[in-house]
């Protein structure tokens, strides 16, 4: 398992030499930036109207940049990851199987876990790049508000980064699992997308007659566990949820690869 380095290096190289990665990243940041720009415009007008009202002696709480802009931006970022992962993960195992290079890979002295971990961590590295690039939004808010001392709360920003990285990791594991099921990239992408959407909307189902079922589904819904992070609350159970989910998906992927040894 620990000798994943060669696979990881090769996958990272493939990701960052592939134009599709940059197209996906550019699209991802274009959408987030459009929303961010809109949030900043609304925030500025709210700040101005709160200022005007306080001048006329009326009480109106001025908005908070972390609450209004940063939290919402990261909410969008974490939601968009759901649509980004299928595009990045679909080729991971499926392409190798399709091209026939997978047999070559498994003949190397590497275990299934090493292969999977190399591929998975390469995808998480792309996630890390997204996390680093997302730092630009709180930085702009800090730059614009520094004159008024209106800086974002950096501990909450860190919490949002952790959320982004954890959710990216869990979704990546799901993507790797889906990719290991099939030889067809498109199928892998569709399965990942449908799976991630279903995993996210688990708690949304209206089950008025069965509140307990709804409670359980909500508890195991992916989106439910990012809320605490985005609010600035780090909870042990949320960390455990994403780490265990990642482990589970990678385990299923490894078992799926393992099954090929026995297939007729």
Partner 1 sequence: MAINKSTNSIKVVFRMLPVVGVLCLLGGFFWAVRQARFDPTSYTLCGVGIALFLTLFVKAEVANLKYYLHVFVYSVLVLGICVIGYLFVKQYAQKVDLTKEKLFSLSDQTTKYLRQLKKKVSIIIFTDNPAPFKDIENLYNGETKELGWQYHNAIKEPMAARMVATEGTVRNGDIFIKSGENSKRLNIAELAGNYENVLTNAIIEVTRDRKLKICFLGGHGEIAYEAPEPPSERNQRPKASLSAFREFLTERGFETAPLDLAQTGFVPKDAAMIVVAGPQSDLFDSETKQLEAYLKANGKMLVMFGPPAARTVPPMPNIKKLLADFGVDAPDELVLDLFSKQLMLEPYQPMIYTYDETSPITRDLSARGQRYPLSFTRPLRQGEVPSEYEFKALVKSSPQSMSVALQAVYNNEPVKPMNEGPQILGASVSSLPPPQMPAGMPSPPQKDMMRLVVYGSNDLIENGFLGTHQMAVELMLDTVNWLTQQEDMIAVPPRQLEGTPIILTGAQLRLIFVFTVVAIPALLFFGGISYSLLRRRT
Q: Which of residues 70-129 bind partner 1 (CB under 8 A)?
A: none
Q: Alpha-carbon distance 159 to 233, whole Å?
A: 7
**Does the footprint of partner 1 cover residue 133 (CB under 8 A)?**
yes
Neighbour-count burial for 87-123, b at 16+ CB within 10 Å, e otherwise: bbbbbbbbbbbeeeebeebeeeebbbbbbbbbbbbbb
| Contact between residue 63 and residue 108 where contact means Cβ atoms under 8 Å apart | no
Q: Which is nearer to partner 1, 3 or 187 (CB)?
A: 187
Q: Rule CB under 8 A: which of 186-215 touch partner 1?
A: 187, 191, 194, 198, 205-207, 209-211, 213
CA-to-CA dists, residue 202 to 80, 177, 205, 207, 231, angstroms:
17, 19, 6, 11, 21
**Does the footprint of partner 1 cover residue 9 (CB under 8 A)?**
no
Of 9, 51, 104, 201, which lies in the binding site for partner 1, with binding defined by CB under 8 A?
51
Q: Rule CB under 8 A: which of 53-72 touch partner 1?
A: 58-59, 61-67
Of 77, 85, 156, 193, which lies in the binding site for partner 1, with binding defined by CB under 8 A?
156
**Does the footprint of partner 1 cover residue 10 (CB under 8 A)?**
no
Of 99, 104, 108, 247, which lies in the binding site for partner 1, with binding defined by CB under 8 A?
247
Radius of gyration for the chain, computed over Cα atoms and rounded to the nearest angstrom: 21
Of 50, 80, 105, 106, which lies in the binding site for partner 1, with binding defined by CB under 8 A?
50
**Does the footprint of partner 1 cover residue 42 (CB under 8 A)?**
no
Q: Rule CB under 8 A: which of 169-188 touch partner 1?
A: 181-182, 184, 187
CA-to-CA dists, residue 152 to 140, 177, 264, angstroms:
10, 37, 59
Of 6, 44, 103, 135, which lies in the binding site for partner 1, with binding defined by CB under 8 A?
44
How long a stretch of residues is the chain? 264
Q: How many residues in the shown chain lie near partner 1 by CB under 8 A?
A: 88
User: Computed from CA positions of residues 36, 41, 42, 44, in that sequence, does the dihedral angle turn out positive or negative?
Assistant: positive
CA-to-CA dists, residue 132 to 126, 149, 256, angstroms:
10, 24, 33
**Does the footprint of partner 1 cover residue 30 (CB under 8 A)?**
yes
């Amino acid at each position: 398992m620990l000798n994943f380095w060669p696979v990881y290096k090769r996958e990272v190289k493939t990701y960052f030499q592939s134009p599709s990665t940059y197209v996906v990243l550019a699209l991802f940041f274009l959408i987030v930036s459009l929303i961010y720009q809109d949030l900043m415009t609304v925030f500025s007008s709210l700040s101005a109207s709160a200022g005007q009202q306080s001048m006329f002696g009326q009480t109106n709480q001025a908005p908070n940049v972390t609450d209004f802009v940063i939290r919402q931006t990261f909410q969008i970022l974490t939601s968009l990851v759901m649509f980004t992962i299928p595009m990045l993960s679909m080729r991971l195992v499926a392409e190798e199987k399709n091209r026939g290079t997978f047999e070559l890979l498994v003949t190397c002295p590497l275990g299934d876990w090493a292969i999977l971990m190399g591929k998975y961590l390469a995808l998480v590295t792309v996630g890390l790049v997204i996390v680093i690039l997302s730092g630009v939004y709180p930085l702009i808010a800090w730059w614009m508000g520094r004159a008024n001392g209106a800086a974002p709360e950096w501990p909450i920003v860190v919490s949002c980064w952790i959320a982004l990285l954890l959710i990216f990791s869990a979704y990546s594991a799901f993507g790797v699992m889906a990719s290991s099921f099939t030889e067809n990239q498109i199928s892998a992408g569709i399965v990942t997308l449908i799976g991630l959407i279903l995993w996210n909307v688990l708690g949304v189902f209206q089950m008025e007659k069965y509140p307990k079922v709804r409670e359980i589904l909500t508890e195991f819904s992916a989106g439910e566990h990012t809320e605490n992070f985005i609010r600035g609350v780090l909870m042990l159970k949320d960390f455990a949820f994403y780490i265990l989910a990642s482990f589970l998906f990678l385990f299923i992927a490894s078992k799926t690869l393992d099954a090929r040894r026995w297939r007729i």
